[in-house]
Chain A
Amino acid sequence: MNATDENTADQTDGLADPREPMSYGERNVWASAIAVAISFVFYLAVIIPRLLEGPIDQISWVTPMLWAIGISIVGTIVLSILMAIGSEIGGAISSSVRSALTGRTVEREAPVHAEDVRDKDISAYGERVTMMGMSFAMLVALVLAMMHANTFWIGSAMFVIGSVSSLVGAGVKIHAYRRGF
């Protein structure tokens, strides 16, 4: 029996809960990716119109970037909490529905609020990709500083490349969760 056959059989022979809830680690990756994406879009939405309107040395970019960083950090925490609550509610609904459908009491699966070894392995794998991007961001910032570029370009380059690196790292982690690692 190959892995696919085994998986198909597992859904029908009562050996497993067919519901496959997202792991703690994957939930946090999604929360972080969504928050970083929102903060990235926020920063660009504020800065690009200013960039088109006036000279670069008069652009007010520090406050929007601090807001964007704040959105990223607070958003990750808030989304992680909301997704954990959603997972709890989903688990309760799933066990109730299965109890109703099967006519017997289906024990609710204990929610997981901690990383296990697979979460840690996948996290380290994704962080390697993110760190490569961060290293590139530092290199770009150094080159811009050596060229006496405006601080707007140095700060923005680090923020943009850092955000993209985080998103790519999150994508690598989600791929590892979904497709294998």
Chain B
Amino acid sequence: MGGKRATRVTNQIRALRAEYGDMTQAALAREIGVTRQTVIAIEQGKYSPSLEMAFQIARVLRVPLDDVFGYPDGGT
């Protein structure tokens, strides 16, 4: 772990928050039971959420998991 970006997992959380009635980072954090700093870290690709948290985020944003998170081709 560590490095420039800690994870190759990409996400569209910020864009989806905007679509979901301008939901703030703090509001999303409250919904999934973490701090806003953790939401910021996830959005910036500095922290990979657990699979369970990923499902929670997708559920709060009311979209399928694939719409929130992506993984680029060419990796294993």
Footprint of B on A, CB under 8 Å? 1-3, 6-7, 9-10, 13-17, 20-24, 26, 109-110, 112, 116-119, 121, 125, 175-176, 179-181
Contacts and interface: CB of A to CB of B under 8 A. Distances in A.
Interface residues of B, number: 34
Contacts of A10: 14, 25, 43
B41 A118 contact: yes
B7 to A, nearest CB: 7
Given A3-B10, A23-B35, A112-B35, A181 B47 contact: yes
A180 B1 CA distance: 8
A108 to B, nearest CB: 11
Interface of B: 1-7, 10-12, 14-15, 17-18, 22-26, 33-38, 40-41, 43-47, 50, 53
Given A176-B2, A179-B6, A17 B41 contact: no
13 contacts: A3-B10, A6-B14, A7-B14, A15-B14, A15-B18, A15-B23, A23-B37, A109-B26, A109-B36, A110-B26, A117-B38, A118-B38, A181-B1
A109 B24 CA distance: 11
A109 B37 CA distance: 12
Q: Pick from B11, B12, B24, B36 the residue with the most CB of A within 10 Å.
A: B36
A15 B13 CA distance: 12
Given A16-B24, A179-B2, A6 B43 contact: yes
